[in-house]
Structure 1
Amino acid sequence: MPERNKIYFYYKKNNELESIIQSLFKRTQQNNFTIVEEANDADIIVSIGGDGTFLQAVRKTGFRQDCLYTGITYAEEAGLYCDFNLENFDEMLYTIEHEELEVRRFPVINVEVNGNTLFHCLNEVSIRSTIIKTIVIDVFIDDKYFETFRGDGLVVATPTGSTGYNKSTNGAVIDPLLPCFQVSELASINNNRYRTLGSSFVLNQNRKLSLRILQDGNDYPIIGLDNEAYSIQNIKSINVRLSDKLIKTVKLKNNSFWDRVKRTFL
């Protein structure tokens, strides 16, 4: 019997895939694991459905620090968070039960909105205008004024999140072994009147990033937390720090972050 033997499956209900899901459940129990109905009771949380589902699984189960997460894709497809697919599901169970686990640790950022509401993000937080008008944001690093941004918005990404929205804005892909986070611009205006750095920049784990939104009619911007959007009225400030939380995942041997980046993009 494996030390970690209680598994919670997170997935979107789909009648077409129900027979496949039931087969996974049966094989799980045949390998001496117990399937639990509550995520809080699990030693291992398994998401089924790709990277988006993995992000939701982590968010919906509270960024747990006392369990392992792992992701399974439906098909042979690249997954930056998911090491396994339906075809090698048995290999995942065997790895957990019989081998010394190789565990990957992903950094998380803390996002504080208006000084009182705290969120966690595994991928990124973004703030964007919801109207046909630029949003103006004063940017502070460690409470010292850095620049005033005017444009469509900003993206603040973790190292693993650097391959997502951040990369589409020409941000750098960052090794998740580096404890840091990255700030990237969305369509900034740079002219004689408005001036920003004009490129992504990376902040060390001990830095605090503060974004103060100018209240000029853009009082209802969209805040994107990983793959969920929140509309919060009268957003005045957002503070971002690297969290002391780390999401622990089961990994396949010889399947590093850079192996997965290569499969996905090259």
Structure 2
Amino acid sequence: MAVRNKIFFFYKKEERTLEKIQSLLSLAITEGFEVVEDEKEANIIASIGGDGTFLQAVRKTGFRDDCLYVGVSTLENEFYCDFHIDDQAGMIEAMKNEQVEVRKYPALSVNIDGQGSFFCLNECSLRSSIIRTLEIDVFIDDLYFETFRGDGMIISTPTGSTAYNKSVSGAVVDPMLACYQISELASLNNNHYRTLGSSFILSDNRKMTLKIKHDNSHYPIIGMDNEAMSIKHCETLHFELTSKRIKTVKLKDNSFWHKVKRSFL
């Protein structure tokens, strides 16, 4: 097994955290890691911040599945960050005493108009950009399923199920399940328009297609994780859970359900 000791630190250059980050860099060097300036040379990518920073780190470094991602939090109760920047001694102790493990999170693939695929670790969201409903035909594999009319839709991974998806009453999904979830944003359900009216979950063997009906709709805002895409026109979006897995370093005694309980109960 190749030795992983080339580490790249991803962080926002904010004055209040720079001193702590310099201390962390020094600690990494002391413990035998090589700190690199180019993320392409790294086999460990350490994100310093919160869950949003972690998502940006994965996106900006290309959703690499050949390296380990480590989340170091400057906040509290983050889902992707098992380590805290103020407990550097605890990080070293966990590493040396084998209190960590590698967990693999699936990435969602979104292909827009057949022009190429984008990846999401949390969710892809389609939202109305003006005060007007979207009308979208929903296909599961080759089956026409429904026509949605409302403010938009959220397509989330299991790890993203506790984020935007949960705020619209979507289910919290165990990340050990290979699946993705579709949740509605303010759907119209009356004598003229009818949708399932609840979130539903598809396995990793299912593909979903959304076709935007522009006779009654406008182009939506498309969000990938915490970043809005600069796409002004789109007709069709294809979704599937890919075989790409994002490897993260986690504490053994800090499972997804530990975090759910700590964050919401």
TM-score for the superposition, normalised by structure 1: 0.95
Distance across 2 between alignment mates of 1:78 and 1:101: 18
Residue 52 of structure 1: how far off its partner (Å): 0.3
Distance across 2 between alignment mates of 1:128 and 1:197: 18
User: Residue in 2 aligned with 1:221?
Assistant: 220
Give yes or no for contact 1:45–1:67 (8 Å, CA) kept in 2: yes
Letter in 2 for 1:24: L
Residue 231 of structure 1: how far off its partner (Å): 3.5
User: Residue in 2 aligned with 1:188?
Assistant: 187
What SS is found at the alignment partner of 2:194?
coil
Per-residue CA deviations over 1:157-216 (Å, capped at 9, x if unaligned) read 000000000000100000011000000000000000000000000001110000000113
Distance across 2 between alignment mates of 1:97 and 1:41: 24
Per-residue CA deviations over 1:15-65 (Å, capped at 9, x if unaligned) read 222211111111111111110001111121100001000000000001111
Alignment of 1:16-27 (within 5 A): 16-27=16-27
Letter in 1 for 2:5: N
* RMSD, matched Cα: 1.5
Residue 263 of structure 1: how far off its partner (Å): 0.9
Give yes or no for contact 2:49–2:72 (8 Å, CA) kept in 1: yes
User: Residue in 2 aligned with 1:208?
Assistant: 207
Give yes or no for contact 1:114–1:235 (8 Å, CA) kept in 2: yes
- Mark the runs of 5 or more structure 2 residues left unpaired by the alignment: none
User: Residue in 1 aligned with 2:79?
Assistant: 80
Percent of aligned pairs with the same amino acid: 57
- Mark the runs of 5 or more structure 1 residues left unpaired by the alignment: none
Alignment of 1:65-214 (within 5 A): 65-75=65-75, 77-96=76-95, 99=98, 101-214=100-213
Per-residue CA deviations over 1:92-123 (Å, capped at 9, x if unaligned) read 24444563751111111100001122100000
Distance across 2 between alignment mates of 1:119 and 1:251: 26
What SS is found at the alignment partner of 1:258?
helix
Distance across 2 between alignment mates of 1:96 and 1:110: 32
User: Residue in 1 aligned with 2:58?
Assistant: 58
Residue 152 of structure 1: how far off its partner (Å): 0.2
Q: Indicate how the Cα distance of structure 1 residues 93 and 60 shifts in structure 2: closer, same or farther if over 3 A, else same.
A: farther
Distance across 2 between alignment mates of 1:265 and 1:125: 23
Write out the 4+ residue segments of structure 1 that deviate beyond 2 Å after TM superposition. Answer: 87-101, 216-220
When the two structures are aligned, how many residues end up with a matched partner?
264
Q: State whether structure 2 residue 261 is matched by structure 1 residue 262.
A: yes
TM-score for the superposition, normalised by structure 2: 0.96
User: Residue in 2 aligned with 1:11?
Assistant: 11
User: Residue in 2 aligned with 1:244?
Assistant: 243
